[in-house]
Amino acid sequence: MTSEPHDDFDTVLVVDFGAQYAQLIARRVREAHVYSEIVPHTITADEIRARRPVGVIFSGGPKSVHVEGAPVIDPAVYDAGVPVLGICYGAQLVAQQLGGEVARTGRGEYGRTEMAVGEGSRLLEDLPASQPVWMSHFDSIVRPPDGFRAVASTPDAPVAVLESDERRIYGVQFHPEVAHTPRGQDVLKRFLYDVCGARPTWTMTSIIETSVEAVREQVGSGRVICALSGGVDSAVAAALVHKAVGPQLTCVYVDTGLMREGESEQVVDTFHRHHGIELQHVRAADRFFERLSGVVDPEEKRKAIGELFIRIFEEAAGGLEDARYLVQGTLYPDVIESGTRDAARIKSHHNVGGLPEDMDFELVEPLRNLFKDEVRRVGEELGLPEEIVWRQPFPGPGLAVRVVGEVTPDKVATLRQADHIVREEIRRAGLERDVWQAFAVLLADVRSVGVMGDERTYGHPIVLRAVTSDDAMTADWARLPYEVLERLASRIINEVPGVNRVAYDITSKPPGTIEWE
C-alpha cells in the first residue's frame, strides 16, 4: 500500500471496518474524480495526518458496536482537523465514540426504505423531502452526540443522518455507495466537494500522465521487459509503460499453444503492428505439448506449464541482458488483499505459475493504484482494442485446465473450436459484459453414445460453463436464455467434430470452482 502522501491528487482515506463495501466506497469516490485509498481501522490519527487526506470515510462493517472486540478507531481522529463521514457501522461508531447512543432496538432494517429528510441538512441539501435509501443494519442510533443534529429518519432509524458542521463530522445510516440508493452518489459528492473541498482531478488523463511520469522517473534510461499474456492487466500495463519509455520496452509473448482462437494473432497485431511495441513472439506450443504428454492431474498440469513458461521466459530475457526492470500488472485489489506495506511481490496466480523469484529485476507496477474498471478505461484511452480491454478473465495455464484428461494438440483444437463458438454466441446475444466468464470444457476421458443422421456416434461431451460474479471469489451459474443455450449446443455438435453431447454446468462457487481444474 502506498503510505506516502499522494502529491498529485487530493486523497480521501476509506477506513475499512470489515465490510466488503470498503472497496465499493473507494471506487465511488474515484468515480467522483477524487483519489481514494483503503486503510485499516487500526490506523492512528498521526498516521492519518501524515497522509494529508482531505477527508476520511468510515466504511460499514458486519459487527455490532456493542459486541466485545468490535473494531473502533483512534478517537483522536475526530480532532485531526480532517472531515469525517461514517457510513452504516461507521456512523454508529461516530455516534457511540462521541457520546451519542446506539441502541439494540430489536428491529433491524434491511433493503429499500423511505427516508424523511429534515430542513437545513448540509449533506442532503438538494434532496427531496422523501428519498428511497438502502439500509442494512440491526442496531440504530437513537440519540446523536452533543453538538450533532439528526437531519433525517426512517421508520426504524430515528437518526438516519447526523451532522456537525462545526466539527465537520457526518454519519449516514444508509449505504450511499450502492446503486439501490439512487441519490447516494450525490450525497458522497456533497461530502467530497463541499465539506472536504476536494478537487475532482482524478481523471483518465491525469491518471495516465501521473503514471507515465512515475514510470519515467523509476526506470530512467533503463531497459524494461514485460511478459504479455493477452489478458487485460498485462496489456494495459505494457501500453502505459510503452507510452512512458517507448523503445526501452520489450514485450515477450510466449505462445503456449493453449491460447484461445485468434488470441496470439491479436496480441502480435495490437502490440507490434499497431502500437509499434517491440515484441518477441516465442512459439513454444510443441514444447508445451511434449511436456504435457501423459499428464492428467490438474495440479501437475499447472505446475508443468508454470515451470516451462518460466524457463522459456528466462531464455527470452537472457537475450536482453541489460534489462533491469520487469513490468507487472498488479492491481489495487491485489495490493489491498496482500495486506502488507511491503514492496511489491510477484504474484503467482495471475501469471502462468508466477515469474521466477530469483530473477534480478526491479518491478514496475503502473496499475498498482487502480481498480479493474479504471484499468479498462485507461486501456480504452490508450487505444487498445475493445476485445482486449473487455476480455473476460482467462486462466494463465490456458485451455489446458479446460481439457479434463490428457492435453493433446487434437483435444486442444477441439476445445478451441467449441470455445470460439461460445464466445461468438455470447457476444451475439449481447451477454458478454453480463456474465463474468462463459467458456467450454472438454471431457477428454468421457465418451457417450449418440446418433447423427443414421450413424451411431461415440464422442466426447462439451460442458458449458457460464457464471456471474463480482470478483471470482464467489460465483453463481448464469441463467442464460434457453434460446442461447440451444444455439450453443446445436452449433457445437454440428460444427465441432468428435463432440456429440453438450451439458450445462449449474454449480455455484462455492462449492464448485469456476474452472474445472
Residues that bind ligand XMP (CB under 6 A): 349-350, 393, 395-397, 437, 472, 509, 513-515
Contact (CB, 8 A) for 61 and 18:
yes
How near is the Cβ of 139 to ligand XMP at its closest, in Å? 35
- Check whether the bond before 155 is cis (ω within 30° of 0): no
Tell me the Ramachandran region of residue 496: left when phi exceeds 0, alpha when psi lies from -120 to 50, beta otherwise. beta
Backbone angles phi, psi at 436, to 5 degrees: -75, -45
**What amino acid is encoded at 482 in this protein?**
Y
Q: Name the E strands within 353-431.
A: 362-364, 403-404
Which residue number, 350 or 460, has a Cβ lying nearer to ligand XMP? Answer: 350
How near is the Cβ of 479 to ligand XMP at its closest, in Å? 19
Which residue number, 95 or 232, has a Cβ lying nearer to ligand XMP? Answer: 232
Rounded CA-CA distance 203/177 in Å is: 19
Which residue number, 91 or 389, has a Cβ lying nearer to ligand XMP? Answer: 389
As beta bridge partners, residue 153 has 116
Sign of CA dihedral 453, 454, 460, 466: positive
| Residue 176: closest CA among 213, 136, 125 | 136
Which residue number, 366 or 396, has a Cβ lying nearer to ligand XMP? Answer: 396
How near is the Cβ of 18 to ligand XMP at its closest, in Å? 23
Rounded CA-CA distance 517/515 in Å is: 6
175 is annotated as an active-site residue: yes
Distances (CA, A) of 71 to 51, 77, 109, 136, 422: 21, 14, 22, 18, 47
Which residue number, 64 or 266, has a Cβ lying nearer to ligand XMP? Answer: 266
Q: Is 109 helix (H, G, I), strand (E, B) or coil?
A: strand
Rounded CA-CA distance 186/201 in Å is: 17
Instruction: Say how many residues make up the chain.
Output: 517
Catalytic residue among 33, 37, 41, 88: 88
Residue with the three cell numbers 460474479: 469
How near is the Cβ of 397 to ligand XMP at its closest, in Å? 5
88 is annotated as an active-site residue: yes
How near is the Cβ of 329 to ligand XMP at its closest, in Å? 10
Which residue number, 424 or 515, has a Cβ lying nearer to ligand XMP? Answer: 515
**What amino acid is encoded at 514 in this protein?**
I
How near is the Cβ of 312 to ligand XMP at its closest, in Å? 17
How near is the Cβ of 475 to ligand XMP at its closest, in Å? 7
Catalytic residue among 33, 41, 137, 175: 175
Catalytic residue among 37, 177, 425, 517: 177
Sign of CA dihedral 347, 350, 355, 361: negative
177 is annotated as an active-site residue: yes
Which residue number, 72 or 473, has a Cβ lying nearer to ligand XMP? Answer: 473
How near is the Cβ of 321 to ligand XMP at its closest, in Å? 29
| Residue 79: closest CA among 40, 38, 49 | 49
CA angle 290, 296, 300 (to 5 degrees): 80
Determine how β-strand 448-452 pairs with β-strand 455-468: antiparallel
Which residue number, 6 or 509, has a Cβ lying nearer to ligand XMP? Answer: 509
**What amino acid is encoded at 261 in this protein?**
E
* Residues with active-site annotation: 88, 175, 177
